[in-house]
Amino acid sequence: SITKDHWLQCIVYHYLETNGDVSINQAKSFFSTAKALAKWIDARYGTNHAPTVRSIIQEVEEEIYDAIRLLDLYVPYAARKYHDWLQEIGRVAIENALEDRQVSGLFQITAVSAATMRCQHAESGKQYTISITPFVRSYAKAGMIIRGNIAETTSNGRWRLIHVSRVFPKEAGQYI
């Protein structure tokens, strides 16, 4: 049977993982569809999923929108929708060119300040200080998870994001 955890996993992880060209409008449509589906399942099978789905969406909706907005700052919607293959070629070229001066994988944001964010690399556990813009600061939240690449900058020991393929709200951490 479907549990609250299944719905949460679908909404905060699978939806963002499988939709590289996600947008705010698309997410709003997905939320409406998920609510309608749960309501239909309840009517058809006598279950009680609709309140659970509504509650989950209410809790995570803004965080998902911020994850999408953060992704948009690094890879605009049109590039993800129409030129995703080009992004992959660019990522591989960057990895090869920078070799040991870059790190790839999952990075969980642990803190956000005016000009930096601290991220923990999921694989190594190492913390990195990443330079950010005010736009990034407005959407980056502690707990968010970024899949991408960072590169060492030449000054002050900071790093910078050079490729971002996905951004997840903190609730997705248990499913990645």
Which pLDDT tens digit goes with each residue over 42-58?
999 999 999 999 999 99
Q: Cβ distance 38 to 49 under 8 Å?
A: yes
Instruction: Note if the pTM is more than 0.85.
Output: yes
Q: What is the pLDDT of residue 67?
A: 97
What are the start-end ranges of the H helices in 75-125?
77-82, 84-98
Q: Which of 29-38, 62-71, 74-83, 125-134 has the lowest mean pLDDT?
A: 74-83
**Quick check: 86 pLDDT over 70?**
no
Residue 160 phi/psi, 5-degree rounding, is -140, 150
Confidence of residue 85 (pLDDT cuts 50, 70, 90): low
Give dist(CA 56, CA 8) in Å, integer.
7
- Give the position of tokens 């190492």: 126
Q: What is the pLDDT of residue 92?
A: 58
Q: How confident is the model over 116-136, as pLDDT tens digits?
A: 999 999 999 999 999 999 999
Give dist(CA 144, CA 59) in Å, integer.
15
Q: What is the pLDDT of residue 77?
A: 79
